[in-house]
Amino acid sequence: GAVVSQHPSRVICKSGTSVKIECRSLDFQATTMFWYRQFPKQSLMLMATSNEGSKATYEQGVEKDKFLINHASLTLSTLTVTSAHPEDSSFYICSARTDDKNIQYFGAGTRLSVL
């Protein structure tokens, strides 16, 4: 299957700092990428849909000013958690959808710990 690379895999930061997570589709172009948050033993919670060249669409309850998404190319989307607080600690996962077949491939996830 197609490969989606997500970095970093783990990040520990101090409260109040910002953290950037990158999501790259390595062998296909993805007009649309998704960002999810996953709590322990729970399903994937969609945070936002990222479309290349346009503003991201955020799900209800997700603060767009806190979770900044940039999708500047067909192979790269970034999620920046601004002014991180301990309650932002979580597992964040990105996915990229193939343009032709509507298949989503996931990155390996980023474990964010805010101290």
Partner 1 sequence: GENVEQHPSTLSVQEGDSAVIKCTYSDSASNYFPWYKQELGKGPQLIIDIRSNVGEKKDQRIAVTLNKTAKHFSLHITETQPEDSAVYFCAASWAGNQFYFGTGTSLTVIP
Contact residues toward partner 1 (CB under 8 A) are 1, 4, 6, 34, 41-44, 46, 49, 91, 93, 95, 102-109, 111
Least gap, CB of 74 to partner 1 (angstroms): 16
82 or 106, CB closer to partner 1? Answer: 106
Our CB check for partner 1 shows the closer of 6 and 75 to be 6
What residues contact residue 26 under an 8 Å CB cut-off, 6+ apart? 2, 3, 4, 5, 75
Q: Is residue 108 within 8 Å of 24, Cβ to Cβ?
A: no
Torsion 80-36-112-64 (CA) sign: positive
- Which of residues 85 and 111 has its CB atom nearest to partner 1 in the complex? 111
